[in-house]
Amino acid sequence: MFRTAASAMLRLLYSTLWYPALPFALFASRSTEWHSARERLGLGAPALADSEFRIWIHLASVGEVEAIQSIARRLLRDVPHAAVVLSAMTPAGRDVARRRISTARACVLAPFDCPSCVRAFLRRVRPQLVIVTETELWPNYFLQSRRIGAKIAIVNGRMSERSAARYGRLRSLFEPALKSADLVMVQSADDAARFASLGVAPERLVVTGNTKFDPDAGVEAPIRRELMGFAKERPILIAGSTAQGEEEVVLRAFAKLRAEFPALALIVAPRHLARVPEVEGAVSRAGFDYVKASSCENGQGDVMIVDTMGELRAIYRRASIAFVGGSLTSSRGGQNPAEPAAVRVPVMFGPYYENQRETAEALLAAGGAKVITNSEEMARVASNWLRNDESRIAAGRSARECIERLSGGVSTSLMRLKGLINLG
């Protein structure tokens, strides 16, 4: 009895003390424009009609848009009278969702995870189905949605060992939220085991694979004429989703490669656009001129910095070889190597890829990827591929075939979601 009372008290403290601090932290670091503030308070979503099948999809940021866009589009196509409202934790995620899922009724900033803000949001949207992506385990989203009778599903769920340990220390907070989910669809058996350790019943757990494996998404995405013109008919190394310190490694490797391949061009796409000035400084210090994607007009130059949102996946089609960042230091856990692989580009990444383990290890086993740890290794691996077109093309083909084998997550997830709304 004491343990039950203590757990209840801890949940009460969580909902009344912990999250009210979040608005102050977010307002201190984000724009306080009135429309953004209204969205954070749960007041910016549209009121949906009784005649519609109302779906709320919540995601973190840009990467999760890639994981959910195919599912969202197909639900809108297949569910009669479907209306989707997407929420994102970041303005960048919201803005990319607006472009990628243009038929959604609205894309807004996510409400603060405190009861009053979530309730205000739910009173307007009144979702019948709530879809939460990947690691967005905000307890009030689950608990308040359950109270209004919505079905709740996690899509593309993942949980690292570190996260599982953290949630385990706060089990009394997260277990009731996770138990309220009707369906938890995860990327791997390891993810399933970690969710199960937090109280998710086995009959509600499904291993679907990664829904980011939609191999044709990058092929279908348009590329602006200006970006097609950059370094036309030249080999290109693309360094995508780079983190702090990785651009210097890429630039040192690029300088070595240019001695052997003078026509080689480089495209650098930092993971966060706020770092673009920092990347510009690194490129200048390395002795290279550059153009920016937002203002590229004549196709001249040896280096392009991608300072726009939502274009990297399509730009990978320009690559001869690619490096995917967030993987050279232990702080990030790796970004998604499936994007270049899906468009037949052989991939390099660093040794820290635990957040992408399934994809990375499958690509390595298939011969479509290589692990590098420094600029010398990057230059050596890239040189081997650039010197041997047959080997490079074969590695790219293996990468694409690997992603095709992993791409069942979208159709499996969609089938399960339709089951929740009795569409079969």
- Residues identified as active-site: 64
Q: Strand 82-88: give its sheet, edge to edge.
A: 106-109, 82-88, 53-59, 129-133, 151-157, 183-186, 205-207
CB atoms within 10 A of CB 396: 23
CB atoms within 10 A of CB 80: 8
* Strand partners for 327: none
Of the candidates 234, 238, 255, 212, the one whose C-alpha atom is nearest the C-alpha of residue 315 is 238
Element (H, E) at 244: none
| Three-class SS state of 241 | strand
Q: What is the 3-state secondary structure (H, E, C) of 392-406?
A: HHHHHHHHHHHHHHC
Residue 3 CB burial class (10 angstroms; 0-12, 13-18, ≥19): exposed
Please give the Cα distance from 319 to 313 (Å, whole number).
Answer: 11
State the pairing for strand pair 129-133/151-157. parallel
Contact 130, 153 (CB under 8 A): yes
CA distances from 303 to 21, 62, 258, 343, 372 (A): 43, 24, 12, 21, 22
| Structure tokens, 397 | 């083909």
* Strand partners for 54: 83
In residues, how long is the chain? Answer: 424
Task: Show Cβ contacts of residue 134 under 8 Å, excluding neighbours closer than 6 positions.
Answer: 59, 60, 64, 67, 155, 156, 157, 158
